[in-house]
Structure formats: structure tokens, C-alpha cells
A = this chain, B = another copy of it.
């Protein structure tokens, strides 16, 4: 039996009413919901019902129907996990194309025009090596344009590839890899950002289940060369006085998600920033990478309205973080939103009909 069926079987098990004193949190939540339904039925019996509400005297039927409804949700979760496994297995097919794109972009392979073209073949000697600034152009042609500052561009010119690795073990998620050529700003060859997914109904609100959702991400440590940290700006107050280091907006903030949350702001603000980051990560996986050439060529990529609706302060007021005090940088950047971002509502491309 595969792991996903096991998980589904375990959840089915958890649906059974507790017969012992040791209730799991899931069982307790279910019992609470049964109690909520009973309270609602009592309200109806007291004449507080709306015209279309549940008729009285059908409590046993409601219990049985709700149990079947929860089984449907569990089966959906099982189906989503199967589809995720299928996508993990399928990614090699896409990677063949991404590898070929990378070879051309980085000048490891120089293609020739098709023989039947009436144009003269370009003289390879006249050409620049590969496609200069391919990934910088892709980023600036995408929705992520707002994140790229002018001061980031010299570093992003060294961006040679962007890849995503879809995972199922040890837990579902995807790793974004940004590969860089040697540059003046940092010594890392690859900067990474990892997103973690979950696909299980919330026992407190099973009716809101909507497939996989991102609930956590981790960045990486950027090994900046001296004085080249694009994520901060250093102000010297006065001659000989203490230098003041302030965080500034930069595309490279993306790799330090802890900076997206700040104790000086309210929880709602921080949640919005992190959800925005989840959108950005998912957008890179679903659009920037699989539509890179279309973006580079300026061909309109199908855009889900949700992308234009990102209304967090970071997107609306990109300068709003500039006066924030710097926070210390932990070894591994890690951020968890108290509100996960459901992929069903941010899905844009590469999406099947189910």
C-alpha cells in the first residue's frame, strides 16, 4: 500500500467516534462539531430556524450524512496526493526542456536557424555568448518586476538559471534554485528558497478544504562580499559616529523571508507579507520557470486575476519597509504564516481539470 493510501486510511480511522478516554485532538474536534450540529438542531427546534434550515427529527440522518461528507473530503485529499505524486514523477519530462533552454541561454549550445528559413544563418562569431541577461529580462517581464530594484540588476545579470524541484519526501513541497555565475556581490553559486505544502482537511473547518496549500517557507544564507549586501543600506550619521544599517527593498529579500515579518507591525500586516511571499514563490514555480521564453519574448502569458490583486503593503508601497529597524539574520531563514496560502486560489498555469 502506498504512503498516500496509508495516510487516507489513517484519517478514515480518525473519523470513527472515540471509544476510549484517550481522544486525539482530531477526534475531539469531530466530537465538538457533532455537538455544534446538535446545538444548531436544538435552535431549529426552538423555532429560530430560517425557512430553508434543517427540519427537526433528522439528527441521526445528519450525523450519517456529515460522516459521508467528511469521507468525500478525505478522498479528495487522497486524490490530490496521488496527483502530486504523478507530478513529481512527471517533472523529468519538463526538466529535459529546461536543461536544453539553459544550455542555449548560457552559450553551451549554439543552435542554427532551420534550413528552410530564407534568412541567412547568423554568423556565430558576431553573436554574444548565449543570451545575455535572459533571466533578468524574464523577471522584469513578469509580475515580479516590482521586486527588482535598479541596484539589484548588476547581481541579477549573473543569474544563469532558475529551476524548481518538486518533492514528495520527506514532505510535499518545492525547492526553488537560483543559479549564479561568479559575481561581485556574493560567493554562493546557488540561492534557494523552499516551500512546504500540506494537503489535509483542517479538523476545525473541513468544509474549507481546497487541496494543497503552502504553509511554510525557508530561505538561505547569502554570503555577501564585504560592503555588497543589497538587502541593507549603511548610513554614517556623522564623522566618526556609529554607522546605522537599515534594511532596504531588494529582490534578494526573497531569500530572507524572516525580514518579511516584523515585530513592529501588527500580525495582519505580517500575515499579508508572508502570504504575498507564498504567492511569489508559487508564481515562480508555475509561471516564471515554465513560461520563461514566452516572458522573455514579451508574449502575453495567461494571467490569473489573483496576481493583479496582490494588495499587501509590500506590493502597493514597495518603499514602506525602508524605515524599519534591521533584525538580526538567523543562520537559516524560516517563516511560517498563521494563514496558509491555498494553491487552488493562486493557481495559474499547469493546472489540470479536476
Contact = CB atoms under 8 A, between A and B. Distances in A.
A128 interface: yes
A172 B58 CA distance: 39
A152 to B, nearest CB: 13
A212 B349 CA distance: 10
A126 interface: yes
A69 interface: yes
Given A63-B113, A306-B305, A353 B101 contact: no
A317 interface: no
Given A52-B136, A141-B52, A211 B79 contact: no
Contact of A296 (B65, B212, B350): B65
B211 A60 contact: no
A130 B101 CA distance: 61
A60 B127 CA distance: 10
Interface string A25-69: 000000000000110100000000000111101111111111011
A19 B116 contact: yes
A245 interface: no
Contacts of A75: 93-94, 97
A349 B37 contact: no
A233 interface: no
A133 to B, nearest CB: 7
Interface stretch (A80-88, A184-192, A224-232, A271-279): A80-88
A288 to B, nearest CB: 13
A354 interface: yes
The size class of the interface chain A forms with chain B is: 35 or more
Contacts of A137: 52-54
Interface in A73-109: 75-76, 79-80, 82-84, 86-87, 90, 93-94, 97-98, 100-101, 104-105
A199 B354 CA distance: 13
A84 B75 CA distance: 16
A111 interface: yes
Interface in A271-309: 290-294, 296-302, 304-306, 309
Contacts of A68: 97, 100-101, 104, 293
A299 B125 CA distance: 67
Interface stretch (A250-258, A324-332, A339-347): A339-347
A323 B19 CA distance: 62
Contacts of A309: 305
Given A93-B75, A210-B302, A57 B348 contact: no
5 contacts: A52-B140, A57-B128, A87-B354, A211-B349, A212-B352
